[in-house]
Amino acid sequence: MSETKKLATQDIFQKAHNFTRADEVKALGLYPYFKPLEATDGTIVEIEGQEVIMAGSNNYLGLTNDPRTIKAAQDALTKYGTGCTGSRYLNGTLDIHLELEDKLAEFMGKEGCVLFSTGYQTNEGAIQTIAGRNDIIFSDRDNHACIVVGTQVSNAKTVRYKHNDMDQLRKFLEQADPKAGKIIVTDGVFSMSGTLAKVPELVALAKEFNARLYLDDAHAVGVVGEGGRGSASVFGLTDEVDLISGTFSKSFASLGGFLVGDRTVIEYIRHHSPAHIFSASMPPANVATVLTALEILKEETWRLDRLEEISIYMRTELEKLGFNVWTSQSPIIPVVIGDMMDCFKFWKDLFKEGVYANAVIPPAVPQGQSLLRTSYMASHTDDHLDRILEAFRKVGIKHGIIDSNGHSAS
């Protein structure tokens, strides 16, 4: 190879060598990611030897440390061992996998259910399977990354509409080939803003334009709706939604995901989705945990009531302090800071005050909209909540985000 050709060759690792931002933030002592939890009871965690209130977990029902879910996992380990060492398609199906699918289908009011090994795989694997070369996917711009990847790896055309903008969605549907298969895909509760999808409008548009409707209820099942049945049930429209996905890594205190819908559609996905066929199945302890969490959700509805009470209280009080929390409608409550480095500094001082939240920066949020993503659990006490609010008040005033009179300083 000539010297000229050698010089022209691009090292595929160059992008990695050029990535220095993480090291730069670490050098400033402001790096907020990959913090190891050294101990946890759910609401209180130990990080770097300091006990802090966890205000950034998706453990919405507070079941990760519940003695009942722990015992269910331990019993499953004793009976089935630590893993299935195969896919559901071949040697990795246990009787409890089938039991969970049946119970979830019944709980969600649908004919069929299929499990996936993670929530991420659920959307990635289902979307690319159901939407083909001659189809069109209409996807909300604020959808979770797993939905975006699912659209990218499918052979379908993808049209992205502005967040919750039903007028633009209608325009795109009107412009679409009337002969093409169509599916609208959206988060039910959006993971950064905490807002609900406009399910009634989506149902109406899907009917008008002969499209199918797919809701990702990862942050909705076990959180909102009748008995925790998700975003469609908030509006009494579960029967009008074709496919609903969910995850077990949040309210169900485990790991894995599921999709419910008409039996024939679910069976097609079960037999054609690469993410289902070529992934090892959910380990038995994970499945047993979800089965127990599902029973607790059905029996202890006070957890949902408490979660709603906490959500309303924290939104109201953070707004009273002068913070911008966008238009949250769930236990996910963003606190907008603005500049990325200001957000990191705010996160650091909040941690010093004994509160852990999640620093979220572009591209997960728009430029200039870096924020602290807070989320709450049914197991948070009133004392926890007031300590979180006091920490935000002190740090907010220190950084000039709010003033002492409860007004935004911007």
Helices (H), 93-160: 95-108, 119-130, 145-153
- Here the tokens at position 371 are 């924020």
Fill in the amino acid letter for 231: S
- Per DSSP, the chain holds a count of helices (H) and strands (E) of 16, 14
| Gyration radius (Cα) of the chain, Å | 22
In the annotation, is 191 catalytic?
yes
Residues in Cβ contact with 58 at an 8 Å cutoff, skipping those fewer than 6 apart: 219, 249, 250, 251, 375
In the annotation, is 97 catalytic?
no
What values do phi and psi take at 85, rounded to 5?
50, 35
Angstrom distances, CA of residue 188 to CA of 78, 213, 225, 276, 337: 37, 11, 11, 23, 25
In the annotation, is 273 catalytic?
no
Selecting among 57, 117, 191, 330, the annotated active-site residue is 191
Selecting among 250, 276, 345, 380, the annotated active-site residue is 250
**C-alpha span between 108 and 101 (Å, rounded):** 11
Selecting among 219, 345, 380, 384, the annotated active-site residue is 219
Q: Residue 18: which H helix or E strand, with range?
A: helix 14-18
**C-alpha span between 196 and 231 (Å, rounded):** 7
Number of Cβ within 10 Å of residue 295's Cβ equals 13
Length of the chain: 410
**C-alpha span between 410 and 407 (Å, rounded):** 9
| Contact yes or no for 273/126 (Cβ under 8 A) | yes
Which residues are catalytic, by number?
191, 219, 250
